Structure 1
Amino acid sequence: MSSTCTTSPSATPADSRSRLWTRSARPFPHRLTLASMCVDTSCIYIPPLNLCRGGPNVTPEPARDGLLCVAACVAGKIHARGSRGLRPSGVSRNIPLRRRRRSMAGARHEHFRFLGDVVPRLVGERLYARGPCAPRLAAPTLWHHPDFLKLWIGQSVSQFGNQFTGLALQLFAVRVLLATPGQMGLLGALGTLPFLLFGLLVGVWVDRHRRRPILIAGDFGRGLVVASIAVLTLLSLARMEYLYLLGFATGILTVFFDVSYQAYLPALVPRDQIVEGNSKLEATNTTAQVSGPVLAGFVIRALGYAAAMAFDGVSFFFSAGLMARIRKPETVPKPSERRSVPKEIREGLRVVFGDRRLWSIAGCTGTSNLFSSALFALFVLYAVRNLGLDEVGLGIIGGLGSIGGILGAVTANRVARRLGVGRAILLGLLVGSASSFWIVFATPGVAFAFLTAMGFAGALGTLWYNINQVSLRQALVSLRLQGRLNATMRFLVWGTLPVGNLLGGALGEALGLYPAIVIAAFGGLLAIPWILFSPVRKLVTIPPPVGE
């Protein structure tokens, strides 16, 4: 028994439209073929149906669109497999198998070309030319960006390790080497002096090279320096002169790393995800600042200063290894496009001072850093000698206080959306500046509670301020100038750190620890007018990114 059907696709030749097809003795498709097709289609093509029906990342679609998707998928599957049961009329089964296959090939191709090529194309036009009804994928998040995740994880571990050396080195200088306020100020100044000396040159150099190798070398070099300090401490050979030298070397590597780091993020992630990237990086950094000091305090008490510093060295090596696995290519300007170093330095300065929003941020951050570095140059010394705290107490205070940083990182975007970017920056500045007064009113009896509140409020305000102002800076300048922008900003805002450290040490030597801390706390309030009377305060949203 046979039945006939005529194919009439407009895309097929005229002779194929009149060609008769007969059904073979086996049903078409064969039961095994049909079963296999159904299983394969359900396994492979159910995702398109779910997308058309509505999922977590798409808008809801009518059910008929889902059926159209399945129809297109089945047609494509038929095209891919062919049919075992169709043959043109006149092709006898008594003909040898090889000749019969050649006779069927041409006719089968036209029929299944329509099913496997034309039908999916027409269905695709039906689905995607309907405007509002077409599937709309939600913007992917950085959780699905493997290269960003490597940078994120590596920096989180490195920041965790930094808390060990940060606490161990200062306590070692105060309690073992019996450092004076002047020596503590000089130690802090040498660690940040390279930003003042080399920041602008490094910015030009970074813009001429790929940033990822610089980041890897910076982390690897700092790991070696910290490991050297740990060895000297373990062998009881450490002296303040050695700490000065190694601190300066670490500062030089940090200049290269930090300038490259902030210029690398806009090249690694899309511009509309810069705020999300900064939020994630700051959130995990502050998470490390919560748990790191607490654990560091117990490690220092149980294993000593050298073990804490050795852990930091390992964390630098781990970060360098992860960044070595990032695969996204970078673009650097051709040698013909480069200009002289002085011209490029002037261009970076022109970028900052040519935009009032940028130099207002630079002036505010530089003033705040000046007085906060003066205060924190004396913080450990004052907490240990005047307030009677030990390494475990300082670690717990640092950990609990840093919870405010986590809250600030999580809520920075929400605060910016509700208040506007400019007011969010101003609010963060106000909260951070006022937090310094907790230590002014602290006494040995309430030192733990007051210093914890100081750390919490300071971290909260700093994260609100930093996330929004850094995202604003990165959006205001083209990608090719990011290195010079960051170097110029680092020169202006971090260049005040060594001055502040020296100022704090000098005030501590001349006036005593408490008067120096009071002066530093009130001096921090001078940063507020920079934003209060600038166009930054009036910004509601981050402006669209400028051209590359």
Structure 2
Amino acid sequence: MATGTAPAGTTAGGALRGRDFRLLWTAETVSKTGTAVTTFALPLVALQTLGATTLMMGVLNAMIWLPWLLVGLQAGVWADRRNQRPLMIGCQIASALLIVSVPVLAWLGTLTMGYLLVIAFASGCSTVLFTAAYNAYVPFLVGRSELMAANSRLMGSEQAANIAGPGIGVLITQVFSAVLGLAVDAFSFVVSAVCLWSIRAREPSDRQGGGAERARTTFRADIWAAVRFVARDPYLRIITASSTTTNLLMAGIQALVVVFLVRDSGLSPWAVGATTVTISVGGMLGAFIAPKVTGRLGTARTLLTAPVTDCFLLLFPLAGHGPLLVVALAGTLVWATGIVVRNVTGGAFRQAYCPPEMRARAAMTMRFTFFGVWPLGSLLGGVLGSVLDVRTALFLLAGANVITDVWIFVGPIKRSRDLPTEFAKPPG
């Protein structure tokens, strides 16, 4: 987008009030709700329809995350080389076709576990590519000055989808079947694609700059340019390191939550659902208050609140019957709120700070690191829960998370009220 030119579909009140942003917001909300239904329904299809073993259920979950490691960096390059809106539409259509094939084959009686694993991986690849394009497209559509408010709304609706999706999935499964839940998700991708297609703003063909020169570079060169950019930048490097250690420890905690609440604490399975809902409610609250918090504290100082809100996660291992569960959920709520406030702040900063030609690649380079440690964190949690008792393991992981928040105090973030808003210069 040329400097000083507002995208089509905006209004005098700003891009956030314009038709195009509302369409993008609707597309993302509908798609996320459908995906949340699938997160609930897909394992049930494997379990109820195909009789999957515990091992195969683990493999199925791995197939969903594996694309972030295998194609995450390449997806960033692909998204930076092309206009993002057509790419997002293509991803949604591909996802719809992939997901709808599962209920079709199930109704025909030809669905196999192998095919379900392929679909999980392929739809995961589509999600990764969509995410790369989406992260680069938002700054084009709303402009740098409204990124904080835009990310607040988009992340808020995502958290709402995380609450509504499983509930819709449970309802559909109880009344009809898990297979029908996948059909609902496929339809949500179609609706999302139509909303994206209806956006009037068009990215100029020269939006990324240096088109001919960029076209001659290889995927490997573009990937390494993004890795160097993130690794050398004093802000992105620290944010990546902090988020990576957080994800490592959170994966360990997540691996232990169900066994801790149900087996060790003697609570019913509804406590697991209550924990999930609490995290999503905290996420909605965090998305809502993020612009207000950054306006009062400043964007840099908001990131420095990590140790304060992360301390509240130490209340979760106190979970037990009666008031102890309330205390644990209250601590989880504060922790989740803080996490999302910082995610909104960091996401808006990255989109404004990274040069347009580097946005998708930088975002996916960081996500490659974030999600790449998730399997290791799950293994860490399992080992600690086996060597120690589960409650002690949770205390150690939550405490380590507070300690590793020291990452955010390394470098220039601690010296400023606000993070920079000018484009960073990529390494030569």
TM-score (ref. length: structure 1): 0.65
Match of 1:399 among 277, 300, 303: 277
SS in 2 for 1:494: helix
Structure 2 Cα separation of the partners of residues 237 and 502 of structure 1: 35
Q: Which has the higher contact order (CA 8 A, sep 6+)?
A: 2
Confirm or deny that 1:449 pairs with 2:326. Answer: yes
Match of 2:62 among 184, 189, 192: 189
Match of 1:364 among 242, 248, 258: 242
Q: CA deviation at 1:203?
A: 1.5
CA RMSD of aligned residues (A): 3.4
TM-score (ref. length: structure 2): 0.82
Structure 2 Cα separation of the partners of residues 423 and 236 of structure 1: 57
Q: Does the Cα contact within 8 Å between 1:293 and 1:398 map onto a contact in 2? A: no
Q: Does the Cα contact within 8 Å between 2:45 and 2:179 map onto a contact in 1? A: no
Q: Does the Cα contact within 8 Å between 1:204 and 1:484 map onto a contact in 2? A: yes
- After TM superposition, the structure 1 = structure 2 runs for residues 236-315 of structure 1, keeping only pairs within 5 Å, are 243-315=116-188
Of stretches 263-272 and 498-507 in structure 1, the one that deviates more from structure 2 is: 498-507
SS in 2 for 1:402: helix
Structure 1 Cα separation of the partners of residues 58 and 400 of structure 2: 17
Output the amino acid matched with 2:125.
Answer: I
Structure 2 Cα separation of the partners of residues 344 and 401 of structure 1: 37
Output the amino acid matched with 1:363.
Answer: A
* 1:223-265 C-alpha deviation (Å, 9 max, x unpaired): 3333344556778887765554333222211211111111111
Confirm or deny that 1:316 pairs with 2:189. Answer: yes
Give the direction of change, closer, same or farther, for the CA distance of 1:162–1:329 in structure 2 (3 Å limit): same
Structure 1 Cα separation of the partners of residues 113 and 263 of structure 2: 19
Confirm or deny that 1:491 pairs with 2:368. Answer: yes
Q: CA deviation at 1:335?
A: 2.9
Q: Which structure shows the higher helix fraction?
A: 2
Total equivalences in the alignment? 408
Structure 2 Cα separation of the partners of residues 240 and 444 of structure 1: 39
Structure 2 unaligned regions, length at least 5: 1-10
Give the direction of change, closer, same or farther, for the CA distance of 1:340–1:169 in structure 2 (3 Å limit): closer
Output the amino acid matched with 1:538.
Answer: R
Q: CA deviation at 1:455?
A: 4.8
Confirm or deny that 1:140 pairs with 2:13. Answer: yes
Q: Give the aligned partner of residue 440 of structure 1.
A: 317
Q: Does the Cα contact within 8 Å between 1:159 and 1:285 map onto a contact in 2? A: yes
Confirm or deny that 1:419 pairs with 2:297. Answer: yes
Structure 2 Cα separation of the partners of residues 504 and 240 of structure 1: 28
Structure 1 Cα separation of the partners of residues 74 and 348 of structure 2: 23
Of stretches 374-383 and 253-262 in structure 1, the one that deviates more from structure 2 is: 374-383
Confirm or deny that 1:201 pairs with 2:74. Answer: yes
Give the direction of change, closer, same or farther, for the CA distance of 1:438–1:217 in structure 2 (3 Å limit): farther
Structure 2 Cα separation of the partners of residues 547 and 376 of structure 1: 35
Give the direction of change, closer, same or farther, for the CA distance of 1:225–1:462 in structure 2 (3 Å limit): farther
* 1:308-329 C-alpha deviation (Å, 9 max, x unpaired): 3332222122111211112212
Structure ID, larger Rg: 1
Give the direction of change, closer, same or farther, for the CA distance of 1:213–1:250 in structure 2 (3 Å limit): same
Structure 2 Cα separation of the partners of residues 511 and 173 of structure 1: 32
Structure 2 Cα separation of the partners of residues 173 and 378 of structure 1: 23
Confirm or deny that 1:350 pairs with 2:223. Answer: no
Q: Give the aligned partner of residue 100 of structure 1.
A: none
Structure 2 Cα separation of the partners of residues 216 and 516 of structure 1: 44
Q: CA deviation at 1:144?
A: 2.8
Structure 2 Cα separation of the partners of residues 376 and 444 of structure 1: 20
SS in 2 for 1:376: helix
Structure 2 Cα separation of the partners of residues 250 and 505 of structure 1: 28
Q: CA deviation at 1:532?
A: 2.4
Give the direction of change, closer, same or farther, for the CA distance of 1:273–1:206 in structure 2 (3 Å limit): same
Q: Give the aligned partner of residue 530 of structure 1.
A: 407
Of stretches 471-480 and 357-366 in structure 1, the one that deviates more from structure 2 is: 471-480
Give the direction of change, closer, same or farther, for the CA distance of 1:547–1:527 in structure 2 (3 Å limit): closer
Q: Give the aligned partner of residue 157 of structure 1.
A: 30
Give the direction of change, closer, same or farther, for the CA distance of 1:309–1:456 in structure 2 (3 Å limit): farther
Give the direction of change, closer, same or farther, for the CA distance of 1:512–1:253 in structure 2 (3 Å limit): farther
* 1:136-194 C-alpha deviation (Å, 9 max, x unpaired): xx9723343221111101111112222222234456778995864x7665444332222
